[in-house]
Structure 1
Amino acid sequence: MPIIINKNIDQKVFWCLWKIEETEEELLVKTFEDETSFEHIKNKHNRLQTIASRVALKGLLDSLQIKYKGILKDEIGKPQLIDVGMSCSISHSKNYALVAVSKNSDNDAIGCDVEKIQARINRLLFRIATNDEIAFADANEVKGTKIWCIKEASYKAFGKLNIEYKSQIITHFKDNEPNQVIIKDVSENQNCYQLQFEQVEDTLLCFAFN
């Protein structure tokens, strides 16, 4: 199906959610990239998600009247738009592909994550969440998934290896809702990201941006 949501945040961050209902062949005709670009992805479902994310990214840039020329990935796998002075982030889960771009061209400007809301996430939070974050989740499946998404989106935005989720990605709250993340790297430098959330049916989207 076509794009189901196409939105912006403060005219700086633009994002698109695509619900994957097409076959691989149907998606390939929607992007200029040929199937050889995806041959290295052996898992069929992962390959379908990847192609869908490219189609969503092309559709998002088309809506901004920007020509999509493909993406490259840096040494840790962070996507970078070819010949476009914007940063981007990609996520997929189940039958959704989520893409986001930012007018801020810094490589650490935007991260996104899409996750199905699941109660089981709360059982795993102790591995990645601070006591304050676990207290916020309070065994609630939506809040627990929100914390999980925050960690993933912030990590993607920061774009560096060897960041420990629990001790270095810290959620800050306002009026008992997460609104900001501070990431400390090994040099004690701090990166601050604003947070934005959307819920679509049983799926949660999170955006971390500066």
Structure 2
Amino acid sequence: MAQLNVNLSDVNEKDAEGGGGVIIPRDRYLLNIVEGEVKRNSKNTGDLFEYKAEVVEGEFAGVKVFGNINVTHQNITAQKIGQAQLAALAEATGIGKANLTDTDQLLFQPFYADLDVETYKGRDNSDKERMVVKKFIHAGNANEPPPSKAPAANDNVKATTTTTTQANPSTARSTQNGGAAASGGGRQMPWQRTA
């Protein structure tokens, strides 16, 4: 027998699932980046910003979302898309794209993002799912609706229908402080902060 010199009493056994992490409904969430680094991509064709973000409020606070953004790439289209994503993230945090000079500036800066579910092939060639950032929310796109919580049309899941008896049901997701997420709701958005 081998001695285990660890205390497992505070470990969440649900973390053993591995794979892409916890899957939460498609929606708009307040997040912040807790880790990030720029490194060479696996095919040595460019540099990417690899980050780990987490939801910081509401029912799903603490859920991790992992992402990569191309900073440079030999494919000009991939580089253009990646740099546009990086600019949108800088705007969403309130730093501003003209002021972003180091990825450390992005750490622990709250921002809104629309999250979606992506299917990918695991190492064992099985289908897996993970949460991905679909869009960073900033002043230029804040009035666009968040993604539907319903599965996408190509999910091959039969849609369920429900009826409501409310006269005017609200579709806004409320936040912990009672405001509506990313719709103003009395909350100052990250890009509206003053120094």
Q: Which range, TM-score by smaller chain?
A: under 0.3
TM-score (norm 2): 0.27
Q: Which has the higher contact order (CA 8 A, sep 6+)?
A: 2
Larger Rg: 2
Write 1 or 2 for the structure with the bigger share of strand: 1
Write 1 or 2 for the structure with the bigger share of helix: 1
